[in-house]
Structure 1
Amino acid sequence: MTLKIDIKGRGKYKPASDYSIDDVKNVLMEKIFEESSRIINSDDDLEIIEKVDFRTDKINVLSLFSGCGGLDLGFELAGLAAVIGEEAAMETFKDKDRFNELRNKSIFHTIYTNDLFKEANQTYKTNFPGHVIQHEKDIRQVKYFPKCNLILGGFPCPGFSEAGPRLIDDDRNFLYLHFIRSLIQAQPEIFVAENVKGMMTLGKGEVLNQIIEDFASAGYMVQFKLLNARDYGVPQLRERVIIVGVRKDISFNYKYPSPTHGEETGLKPFKTLRDSIGDLVTDPGPYFTGSYSSIYMSRNRKKSWDEQSFTIQASGRQAPLHPGGLPMEKIGKDKWVFPDGEENHRRLSVKEIARVQTFPDWFQFSQGTNSQTSINNRLDKQYKQIGNAVPVLLAKAVASPIANWAIDYLESSPNNKIKNENASFQLGLF
Structure 2
Amino acid sequence: MPIDPPVLDSPRGSKMPVISLFSGAGGLDLAVERVADTPLQSPVVPSNGPFRVAVATDYSAQALDTLSLNLPGTATWPGDIRDTPTSELLRVGSMSAGDAALVVGGPPCTPFSKSGFWLAEKRESRDPNASLLEEYVRVVAQARPEAFVLENVQALTYKTHQKHFQQLLAALADLGYNPQWKTLLAADYGVPQLRKRVFIVGRRDGQAFRFPEPTHAGPSETTRSWDTSKLFHVSAEQAFAGLKTVSESKELVEGKYGQLAAEVPAGQNYLWHTPRLGGRDEFEWRSRYWTFLLRLAPDKPSSTLQAQPGPYVGPFHWENLRNENGDLRARRLRVPELLRLMTFPDDFQLIGRRADVQRQLGNAVPLELGKAVLRALTLQLGYIDAETDSDDQLVRSTSDAVLIS
TM-score (norm: length of structure 1): 0.67
Which of 199, 210, 215 aligns to 1:260? It is 215
1:361 aligns with 2:346: yes
Larger of the two Rg values belongs to structure = 1
Which of 133, 152, 158 aligns to 2:75? It is 133
Which residue number in structure 2 is paired with residue 65 of structure 1? 22
Q: Which runs of 5+ in 2 are unaligned?
A: 91-95, 113-119, 219-226, 262-268, 271-287, 386-405
1:321 aligns with 2:316: yes
Counterpart of 1:134, as a letter, is: T
Partners of 1:312 and 1:163 in 2: CA distance:
23
**Larger relative helix fraction:** 1
Q: Which runs of 5+ in 1 are unaligned?
A: 1-43, 82-88, 327-340, 368-377, 411-430
1:161 aligns with 2:121: yes
Q: Any idea what the Cα deviations from partners look like across 1:56-75, whole Å, max 9, x if unmatched?
A: 95332100000111111122
Q: Any idea what the Cα deviations from partners look like across 1:156-180, whole Å, max 9, x if unmatched?
A: 23367378445xxx64221111111
SS in 2 for 1:129: coil
Matches within 5 A, 1:22-421: 58-78=15-35, 80-81=36-37, 89-90=38-39, 93-94=40-41, 96=42, 100-103=44-47, 105-130=48-73, 132-143=74-85, 144=87, 145-146=89-90, 147=96, 148-157=100-109, 158=111, 161=121, 164-166=124-126, 171-203=128-160, 205-247=162-204, 249-250=205-206, 252-263=207-218, 264-280=227-243, 283=246, 288-289=251-252, 291=254, 298=288, 299-315=292-308, 317=311, 318-325=313-320, 343-367=328-352, 378-408=353-383
Q: CA deviation at 1:100?
A: 3.2
SS in 2 for 1:177: helix
SS in 2 for 1:344: strand
Contact 2:66 2:351 (C-alpha < 8 Å) held by counterparts: yes
The farther-off stretch of 395-404 and 311-320 is: 311-320
Counterpart of 2:76, as a letter, is: Q
Counterpart of 1:347, as a letter, is: R
Partners of 1:214 and 1:287 in 2: CA distance:
47
Contact 2:19 2:56 (C-alpha < 8 Å) held by counterparts: yes
Q: CA deviation at 1:138?
A: 1.0
Q: CA deviation at 1:280?
A: 3.9
Contact 2:236 2:300 (C-alpha < 8 Å) held by counterparts: yes
Partners of 1:116 and 1:293 in 2: CA distance:
35
Counterpart of 1:161, as a letter, is: E
Sort the Cα spacing of 1:273 and 1:150 in 2 relative to 1 into closer, same or farther, 3 A: same
Sort the Cα spacing of 1:405 and 1:379 in 2 relative to 1 into closer, same or farther, 3 A: same
Relative contact order higher in (CA < 8 Å, ≥ 6 apart): 1
Counterpart of 1:365, as a letter, is: L
SS in 1 for 2:240: helix
CA root-mean-square deviation: 3.2
Counterpart of 1:191, as a letter, is: F
Partners of 1:218 and 1:173 in 2: CA distance:
20
Partners of 1:218 and 1:52 in 2: CA distance:
32
Counterpart of 2:121, as a letter, is: S
Partners of 1:387 and 1:163 in 2: CA distance:
22
Q: Any idea what the Cα deviations from partners look like across 1:117-142, whole Å, max 9, x if unmatched?
A: 12211111111132x11001111111
Q: CA deviation at 1:289?
A: 4.6
Counterpart of 2:46, as a letter, is: L
